[in-house]
Amino acid sequence: MANSGVQLLGFGLSLTGIVGLIVGTILPQWKMSAYVGDSIITAVATYQGLWMSCAFQSTGQLQCKIYDSILQLDSDLQATRALMIVGIIVSIAGLGVACMGMKCTTCGADDKVRKARTAMTGGIILLVGALCAVVACSWFAHNVIRAFYNPFTPVNTKFEFGAAIFIAWGGSFLDVLGGAMLAASCPRSKQVSKYPKSNSARSASSSNNKEYV
């Protein structure tokens, strides 16, 4: 059974990972324009995220526009959105379940085996949420790489990885580590002795009882 230190470490890593997932999902820098064949003097940095696209002018002005219609978005972007949202919600739910099963909490402290099973269940739920986020980030990155090396993609519309996708990746991997530590709280069944008491032990206990009578 995992000790309380490992559970606290797993809880901290999972909480940090969830914060990273939320921040990475909100930020618009999932992909940024690649300066391939462009002039640096007239270049305008373009960022695209899951919810908005931004343009950073050479004068230092940043303009962002939220996507107006969901139906006009690519199916890959919609799937990435859905997986990230599901990953965040499932991870938060798993963290709440794991919190109730940790040794440092008083919820159900009478039954230690049940608490360990609760913490293990929370860790498994966290792993499922982290897996959704990993799939979303990897899928988005695959599409960026495929479009970048596509010879039919115009040079001025090529993108590369932005900071937000690395934050989301880091949060998902921290979520995986934390969930694995909490899932290690697998309860062990109590070992019952297979051999009955010997006759000498029984006679000694009976003689002791007679002395007190």
- Give the pLDDT confidence of 65-114 residue by residue, as tens digits: 888 877 778 888 999 999 999 999 999 999 999 888 887 777 766 777 88
pLDDT at position 187: 60
CATH architecture, domain defined by 4-28+71-188 = Up-down Bundle (1.20)
Classified as helix, coil or strand, 167 is: helix
> What's the whole-model pTM score?
0.80
- Cα distance between residue 159 and residue 32, in whole Å: 5
The number of CA neighbours under 13 Å toward the Cβ of 84 is 30
Residue 200 has pLDDT above 60, yes or no: no
- Give the pLDDT confidence of 131-159 residue by residue, as tens digits: 999 999 999 999 999 988 888 877 777 88
- The residue ranges of every structural domain in the chain are 4-28+71-188
Residue 190 has pLDDT above 80, yes or no: no
DSSP at 209: H
Taking a C-beta distance cutoff of 8 angstroms, is the pair 31, 162 a contact? Answer: yes
pLDDT interval class at 201 (50, 70, 90): very low
The number of CA neighbours under 13 Å toward the Cβ of 187 is 16
pLDDT at position 192: 42
Residue 208 has pLDDT above 80, yes or no: no
- Give the pLDDT confidence of 26-65 residue by residue, as tens digits: 999 999 887 765 445 555 788 899 999 888 877 777 888 8
pLDDT interval class at 213 (50, 70, 90): very low
pLDDT at position 119: 87
